[in-house]
Amino acid sequence: MLDTEDAGLAQTASLYASLGARPVINAAGALTILGGSRLSPGVREAMDAANRSYADMKSLLETSGAIVAEMLDAEAAYITSGAAASLTLSMAACLTFEHRDYLERLPDSEGIPNEVLVQQNSRQRYDECLRFAGARIVKVGDADGLTMRQLAGAIGPNTAAVHYFAQSRSPGTPSIDAVVEAAHAAGKPVIVDAAGLTYPIDNLRRFARAGADLVCYAAKYFDGPHSTGLIVGRRDLVELAATNGFIGFETSGAYTIGRPMKVDRQEIFACVFALREWLAMDHEARLAVYAADAAAILEALRGIPGVEAYRISDIEPPTPSTREGVRLVLLPGVPKTAEEVFEALRDGEPSIWVRPDGNQVNLSVGFLNDGEAEVVARRLREVLGA
């Protein structure tokens, strides 16, 4: 078995070297800069099988969407090229819902309601994806959060949609139920950015169940292809998001905004198969593996002068990107900064990526291969001079 693993590692190293790249041990998390996700053997097999034939992409998107919708107890679903694309296409659907003549004009939205309301104290970089469709972001609420009185007061004739960042940990973030009720009372749809909220698995259902019109997910967070995502929700708006999508050129009669957001047929099959595996997975067993890897790293780091180490889930809820991990706090007097630790691990052999933050080094164990926790621990001890 070891010989097989060694041969596989050598083949990977040779493959990467052929393109001038280095394989990386991912102890950082589900980062786009590292490729986002790792596919299971079953998902890879589905991609390979799908590669043997071509498909009517319109039909494939419709049938795969219906299957995803059934799995998630939703009216409709559409597979996209990622959560960012899901946000842009969802916004495009809201902009063109009563203005189909704008299918070919976006991102020019002058002359139609084009404002999207976003909670001021939970702004984050992916809000920009709403602007890509032609929306104008209007901040609502204040430093203390968002009340329904403030939301209701901000909705006006130029409002096209209300945005809800489901991963917000900002104070005063209202419930999705309250936001849906207030938006729908004014006749406005709600777009939910739930990109990483795929576990507990009820997160894949609860926002649509609460009445959100367009809920956006990244497939990498259920171990699907990094370049895929989902829109789940209200049928007419999901269908219009699809109309704005990458085959709109051929199927809608309009040069729609989503042309750059292509998904190939292999990725569509892989996304569905990954979601099916995720919903059926023994997540307690998955988390137990993470806990064991985190414990192994913590044990290896025990007793290093000037370094405090904690399992992340013992001090705060892990993010979808880390899943579980270890935090190192470098105390005054430690010869290396967190950034220097990151650089030494990244530039060493093997290359290992972690996340530096101030005087902390954060490690994810959620994306390690078998045996890599021991490698990460050994390299950390070497870099920290233990």
366 inside domain: yes
Which of 246, 280, 314 is at the close of a domain? 280
- Residues 168, 255: one domain? yes
What are the two backbone dihedrals, phi and then psi, of residue 80, each rounded to the nearest 5 degrees? -115, -175
- Residues 156, 304: one domain? no
216 inside domain: yes
Instruction: Provide the percentage of residues in the chain whose pLDDT is more than 90.
Output: 94
pLDDT band at 73 (very low <50, low <70, confident <90, very high): very high
Whichever domain contains 310, its CATH number is: 3.90.1150.180
What are the two backbone dihedrals, phi and then psi, of residue 352, each rounded to the nearest 5 degrees? -125, 130
| Cβ–Cβ < 8 Å for 311, 298 | yes
- Residues 174, 53: one domain? yes
206 inside domain: yes
Residue of 342, 286, 102, 129 whose CA lies nearest to 216: 129
Which of 262, 280, 298 is at the close of a domain? 280
- 194-235 pLDDT tens trace: 999 999 999 999 999 999 999 999 999 999 999 999 999 999
- Residues 373, 257: one domain? no
- Residues 199, 262: one domain? yes
- Residues 214, 316: one domain? no
Whichever domain contains 245, its CATH number is: 3.40.640.10
Which residue do the tokens 């530039």 mark? 347
114 inside domain: yes
Which of 256, 280, 304 is at the close of a domain? 280
- 303-336 pLDDT tens trace: 999 999 999 999 999 899 999 999 999 999 898 9
- Residues 178, 48: one domain? yes
Q: Which 3-state string (H, E, C) describes 28-58?
A: CCCCHHHCCCCCCHHHHHHHHHHCCCCCCHH
36 inside domain: no
- Residues 96, 119: one domain? yes
pTM assigned to the model: 0.95
Mean per-residue pLDDT of the chain:
96
- Residues 375, 364: one domain? yes
Any residues with CB less than 8 A from the CB of 187 and at least 6 apart, and which? none
- Residues 363, 376: one domain? yes
Q: How many domains does the chain have?
A: 2
Tell me the C-alpha distance between 63 and 281, whole Å.
23
Tell me the C-alpha distance between 58 and 225, whole Å.
20
Average pLDDT over residues 258-284: 98
Provide the residue range defining the domain that includes 370: 2-30+282-383
Residue of 188, 198, 232 whose CA lies nearest to 75: 232
